[in-house]
Amino acid sequence: MRPRVRLGVFVAVGLGLAVALAFLVAPEASSQPDGLEKVAIDEGFIDGARDHDLAGSPTADYGVEGVDDARLSTGLAGALGIGITFAVTGGLFWLVRRTRRDQPPVPEPTA
């Protein structure tokens, strides 16, 4: 199959879409308890939850400390997370590829 979009363009567009989601959609996301939290409430083990050790960090809970506008704060936190996740993952796999040994390819898991 012939690529219709250059890889660099594809990655740039994908990252742009992710950042757009963080700024435009994430502030509208539901703040209801998620599935596990709801089960913990219903089944009565929610009280076991402890505060996060890093709850005081400047980007805790997907906001940026000091940014008062809630939408902007969420969007900036998202953009930061997207950038760091991209960089860490890219760096990790660059290292993985550099250090891989010349071994025969392993079969992927099959059903």
Partner 1 sequence: MHAPDGFIDGPTSLAMGVVAAGGVAVCLRRAGQELEEKQVPLAGLTAAFVFAVQMLNFPVASGTSGHLLGGVLAAVLVGPWTGALCVTVVVAVQALLFADGGLTALGFNTVNMALVTALGGYLVFVGLRRVLPRTRGGVALAAGLAAGVGVVLSSLAFSLQYAIGGTGGASAGAVTASMVGVHVLIGIGEGVITALTVSAVLASRPDLVHGARDLAVAEPPAPVAGAVS
Neighbouring C-beta atoms of residue 74, cutoff 10 Å: 22
What the block records as the tokens of 22 is 């963080």
Q: How far is the CB of 63 from partner 1 (least distance, A)?
A: 9
65, 69, 71, 94: residue in contact with partner 1 (rule CB under 8 A): 94
What the block records as the tokens of 46 is 């929610």
CA-CA distance, 59 to 82, in Å (whole number)?
13
Residue 22 interacts with partner 1 (CB under 8 A)? yes
Of residues 29-48, which lie at the interface with partner 1 (CB under 8 A)?
Answer: 29-36, 38-40, 42-48
Residue 25 interacts with partner 1 (CB under 8 A)? yes
Q: How far is the CB of 97 from partner 1 (least distance, A)?
A: 6
CA-CA distance, 40 to 48, in Å (whole number)?
9
What the block records as the tokens of 1 is 């199959």
Residue 68 interacts with partner 1 (CB under 8 A)? no
Q: How far is the CB of 16 from partner 1 (least distance, A)?
A: 11
